Structure 1
Amino acid sequence: MSILDPEIWTGRLYSSGWRKGSGTPAAVSEAATGTRLGTIGTATADDVADAGAAAAAAQPGWAATSFRERAAVMHRAVAALEAHRDDITDFMIRETGCTRPKAAQEIVKAVGELTASAALVDGPCGDLLPHETPGVLSMARRVPVGTVGVISPWNAPLMLAIRAVAPALALGNAVLLKPAPESPVSGGVLLARIFQEAGLPDGLLHVLPGGADTGEAVVRSPHTAVISFTGSSAAGRRVGEIAGGMLKRVVLELGGNNAYIVLDDADLDAAVNNAAWGSLLHQGQICMATGRHLVHESLADAYVERLTAHVRSLTVGDPTRPEVRVGPLISERQADRVHEIVTASVAAGSVLRAGGTQDGPFYTPTVLDRVTPEARAFHDEIFGPVLPVTRFSDDDEAVELANATRYGLSAAIHTGSLGRGLALAGRLRTGMVHINGQTINDAPHVPMGGTGDSGNGGRYGGHWNLDEFTQWQWVTARATPGTYPV
């Protein structure tokens, strides 16, 4: 039986076992064809309340468990992912519309997150501090926050959920996970199933599919001490507003409009290759996708010509077909939005070099040339397969254009001079910069996050997870009680 067999989850959610949700069941559909894959149970505020109480009851025992056992659960979850790799890949392609290489890479990333989370628990967990009284032990130690609320998106549903769920659990917390309505299986059911197979005790992970009201219930739950949210900037503001009013820690990883700078001494072929990957991976539906191609005027004509030829060679269609390189957007509504941005940008003076056509949820890879900062294709996060090219005359103008955005997530610089690239990187207001690389980069051991409309500076990855999913406790201990003048 497949690990994602619909008989397991149809009409159900995972909260202290598989059970019927109180909300209206929701269809799970194939992105490319609309074919129904099943029906998922959804959670109401009452379900969230029950899950929060169960998580709070189960968490202390889990926190007291040996760090070796918590690490072992992570390793067994890796084994479950590996054992069911083919079934998981096939379902992710159908549910999210991604291509097979993208699905395969997402599983690799998820394995890395689990492995890194296992490694978190056997490292140092505090500091030994001096004390003014001889013989008194004084220490600061990290302790679990309790229960973490995780609200994850649809564009990389497995990886972007597990990067918060795995370290939170490994560090001794319980988790309430609210996956995106567009991908409740790949981003929710799948995590429940692999942790079931890994032997995670009941009550520690609750998967609560639903819409914005379910997510808000997770944020408002008296049991969630930290909220990890990945999604749009608009929704992130709402999460931050609610969490801030309740004095909760919140980790926001939001949208991006990422600059890709091609200097006049760049390797043109490499720049085009990296640019196409950065803009077209998963049809551009990635927060780190290349949103603005800033190209030196001496290379721009050749750059646009090669980029245009490349995107015209790509096959668009159902990603279950092996020859397809560009699949559907997550919905026809999203494709409509992309087309609206392209049309408005052409009306504003941008030159359409390739693409610009829509067929239901499918959108052809589109190259726009001579895009000005006034065009929507320059200042909006497109979240589609669109490559807007803007020309600049010198490094100062490149920096000015790159920083002319509300976002601050990722950037890339192509140059023949490493020193020049490093100097330019230091002037960019962004959380990540990649010299002679592309904008879509992450790894389990690095600090992942952005600033501005891209997030609040919180970081996922490596030991930075300790800052998000544990809290400090100061402890002193003495062999005999002290005495004080009263």
Structure 2
Amino acid sequence: MGASDTPPFLHDAIWQERIFNGDWIAADGGSHAIVEPATGELLGRCGAANAADVARAAGAARAAQRAWAATDYKQRAQVFRKAAALLEQHQEALATWIARETGGIMPKAQVELREALAHLHEAAAMLTQPKGQLLASQEDQFSIARRVPHGVVGVISPFNFPLILSIRSIAPALAVGNAVVHKPDLQTPISGGVIIARLFEEAGLPKGVLQVLPGGAEAGEALCANPDIAMVSFTGSTAIGRRVAEVAGRTLKKVSLELGGKNSLVVLDDADPDIAAANVAWGAYLHQGQICMAAGRILLQRGIAEAVTSRLLEKAGRLPVGDPMSGTVALGPLINVRQVQRLHAIVTDSVAAGATLLAGGSHEGQFYRPTVLTDVRPGMRCFEEELFGPVASITVFDTDEEAIALASATEGCLALGVISPSVTRALRIVNRVPCGHAHVNDQTVLAEAHAPFGGSGSSGNGGRHGGPADWDEFSQWQWLTIKSEAPQYPF
């Protein structure tokens, strides 16, 4: 990107071909090219960690953790406030990095920065929240249930919203007294790793408490297997999540999984067609559909289906696709060629199985056109599989009971949306569809730093991020009793 548009704390000379352990050091695993998905331009080279790098990082994090946990809570809170101030100070330049590295439009990058800022403020607030309960006990003693850190938490984050999906685990894990070993995706190591490392470095986090190691499968496997790491927080695909749980289980780690899934947006026949179509387009097309809670199934009641579909077609036809840095497009590129090929195969296989292609279904390089598929039925790939691309897959239903059955026909669901002016009617559907979070009169792509977020079924293992859930995930209960003097036992 060049030094002229790079803030000093993110200057190339600091992080290029390096990983972070409190200092910036060369990685045993070498380095990795960072390629801008919209242009193919080389943005730089990050350090690429291997198993040996992970082993050293985990040991160093474990050695640093106890002193960090014993640090006065006011000092720890100040670290997060300083990091937040730095993020605000440099947000314009950081937004450019995020947009170029992820292929997202600038408003998407700005959302990442705002939400990351919120997570930092929430982490600072955790330091003054109650972290235990006073239990019933004898009159002359105290019995206390208190939350204590796990020790070292491993974090593995994906490419789509790398800053948010990294910092939402890193910040609360650090806040409650853990050290963190973090492996961002090699496709987005700056947005998902380097930015965070520099924020905490400049904010005064003690050396060793945060280790940032971009890496591939070898590093991820090593992180999950390492005995110095007590917990793994993973965000990514269901297939890899199963592997994470398998490897981490050998050392009895706690594992928090936020995985892919099939989310439904239900539009009832009493909805406003214009509002419904806007919700469908946003839920299906935002950030090219590369969002874990994107609306992968659009369920339209028959009485309103034609009206909503016609409006959606108009939107799909006029949403510009191209380089997000131009400032004139709504959709950027998919993250890589492999993702384009997978998405296009789902679309073409679904059409061959009887779905009707009304818009899109084509691409130039990694730029996939906003797509509308109708006549979609259970069993088709676009109905069953997570799309992770800009495809509105429409299934028409007749009764509310049918909508419940269609929305529930999945192994895992992160989010559910129901659009209807009848809140009572919408709630009847929400209350009967298993999902991680549900929204009446909104689409599915929603998240806030203070709200518990996670999936059900194969979309997660019951773990949550955000608000009160952060205490549940990143600390564990300890029972403490205090007596004025030791009792005399009969033995």
Q: Is TM-score (shorter-chain normalized) higher than 0.5? A: yes
Instruction: Kindly indicate whether residue 223 of structure 2 is the aligned counterpart of residue 218 of structure 1.
Output: yes
Once superposed, what is the RMSD of the aligned Cα atoms?
A: 0.9
Q: 2:193 aligns with which of 188, 194, 203?
A: 188
Checking the alignment, whether the CA contact within 8 Å between 1:256 and 1:287 is kept in structure 2 is: yes
Q: 1:60 aligns with which of 49, 63, 66?
A: 66
Q: Which residue of 2 aligns with 1:255?
A: 260
Report the CA distance between 1:137 and its aligned residue: 1.7
Q: Which residue of 1 aligns with 2:143?
A: 138
Checking the alignment, whether the CA contact within 8 Å between 1:120 and 1:463 is kept in structure 2 is: no
Report the CA distance between 1:130 and its aligned residue: 2.1
Checking the alignment, whether the CA contact within 8 Å between 2:225 and 2:250 is kept in structure 1 is: no
Instruction: Kindly indicate whether residue 405 of structure 2 is the aligned counterpart of residue 400 of structure 1.
Output: yes
Distance 1:455 1:66 in 2: 34
Instruction: Kindly indicate whether residue 131 of structure 2 is the aligned counterpart of residue 107 of structure 1.
Output: no
Distance 2:169 2:22 in 1: 20
Distance 1:38 1:270 in 2: 43
Q: 1:421 aligns with which of 423, 426, 430?
A: 426
Q: Which residue of 2 aligns with 1:86?
A: 92
Q: Which residue of 1 aligns with 2:331?
A: 326
Query: Residues 323-345 of structure 1: CA distance to partner in whole angstroms, max 9, x if unpaired?
Result: 11010000121111111111011
Instruction: Kindly indicate whether residue 291 of structure 2 is the aligned counterpart of residue 282 of structure 1.
Output: no
Instruction: Kindly indicate whether residue 382 of structure 2 is the aligned counterpart of residue 374 of structure 1.
Output: no
Partner AA of 2:14 in structure 1: I
Q: Which residue of 2 aligns with 1:118?
A: 124
Distance 2:58 2:250 in 1: 19
Query: Residues 336-391 of structure 1: CA distance to partner in whole angstroms, max 9, x if unpaired?
Result: 11111110111111111111111111100000011111211110101000001100
Partner AA of 2:61 in structure 1: A
Distance 1:397 1:180 in 2: 39
Report the CA distance between 1:127 and its aligned residue: 1.1
Percent identical pairs in the alignment equals 50
Instruction: Kindly indicate whether residue 420 of structure 2 is the aligned counterpart of residue 436 of structure 1.
Output: no
Number of residue pairs aligned between Structure 1 and Structure 2: 485
Instruction: Kindly indicate whether residue 88 of structure 2 is the aligned counterpart of residue 69 of structure 1.
Output: no
Report the CA distance between 1:322 and its aligned residue: 1.0
Partner AA of 1:390 in structure 2: T
Distance 2:482 2:301 in 1: 64
Distance 1:372 1:24 in 2: 47
Q: Which residue of 2 aligns with 1:47?
A: 53
Partner AA of 1:268 in structure 2: P
Distance 1:22 1:270 in 2: 53
Partner AA of 1:458 in structure 2: G
Checking the alignment, whether the CA contact within 8 Å between 2:227 and 2:251 is kept in structure 1 is: no
Partner AA of 2:232 in structure 1: I
Q: Which residue of 1 aligns with 2:3?
A: none
Distance 1:406 1:359 in 2: 33
Distance 2:74 2:276 in 1: 45
Q: 1:344 aligns with which of 346, 349, 352?
A: 349
Distance 1:306 1:30 in 2: 33
Report the CA distance between 1:114 and its aligned residue: 0.7
Report the 3-state secondary structure (helix = DSSP H, G, I; strand = E; otherwise coil) of the residue aligned with 1:423. helix
Instruction: Kindly indicate whether residue 26 of structure 2 is the aligned counterpart of residue 27 of structure 1.
Output: no
Report the CA distance between 1:131 and its aligned residue: 2.2
Report the 3-state secondary structure (helix = DSSP H, G, I; strand = E; otherwise coil) of the residue aligned with 1:298. helix
Distance 1:16 1:390 in 2: 52
Query: Residues 295-324 of structure 1: CA distance to partner in whole angstroms, max 9, x if unpaired?
Result: 001111111111001111111000001111
Checking the alignment, whether the CA contact within 8 Å between 1:256 and 1:289 is kept in structure 2 is: no
Distance 1:315 1:459 in 2: 35
**Structure 1 runs, 4 residues or longer, greater than 6 Å off:** none
Give structure 1 stretches of 5+ with no counterpart: none
Partner AA of 2:318 in structure 1: S
Q: 1:480 aligns with which of 482, 485, 490?
A: 485
Checking the alignment, whether the CA contact within 8 Å between 2:427 and 2:440 is kept in structure 1 is: yes
Partner AA of 1:156 in structure 2: F
Distance 2:484 2:262 in 1: 58
Q: Which residue of 2 aligns with 1:18?
A: 24
Q: Which residue of 2 aligns with 1:38?
A: 44
Partner AA of 1:379 in structure 2: E
Report the CA distance between 1:24 and its aligned residue: 2.8
Give structure 2 stretches of 5+ with no counterpart: 1-5
TM-score by length of 2: 0.97
Partner AA of 1:83 in structure 2: Q
Q: Which residue of 1 aligns with 2:13?
A: 7
Checking the alignment, whether the CA contact within 8 Å between 1:4 and 1:87 is kept in structure 2 is: no
Report the CA distance between 1:207 and its aligned residue: 0.4
Report the CA distance between 1:245 and its aligned residue: 2.4
Distance 1:43 1:448 in 2: 29
Checking the alignment, whether the CA contact within 8 Å between 1:259 and 1:292 is kept in structure 2 is: yes
Checking the alignment, whether the CA contact within 8 Å between 2:22 and 2:201 is kept in structure 1 is: no
Distance 2:308 2:131 in 1: 50
TM-score by length of 1: 0.98
Checking the alignment, whether the CA contact within 8 Å between 2:257 and 2:460 is kept in structure 1 is: yes
Checking the alignment, whether the CA contact within 8 Å between 1:332 and 1:362 is kept in structure 2 is: no
Distance 1:336 1:362 in 2: 11
Q: Which residue of 2 aligns with 1:471?
A: 476
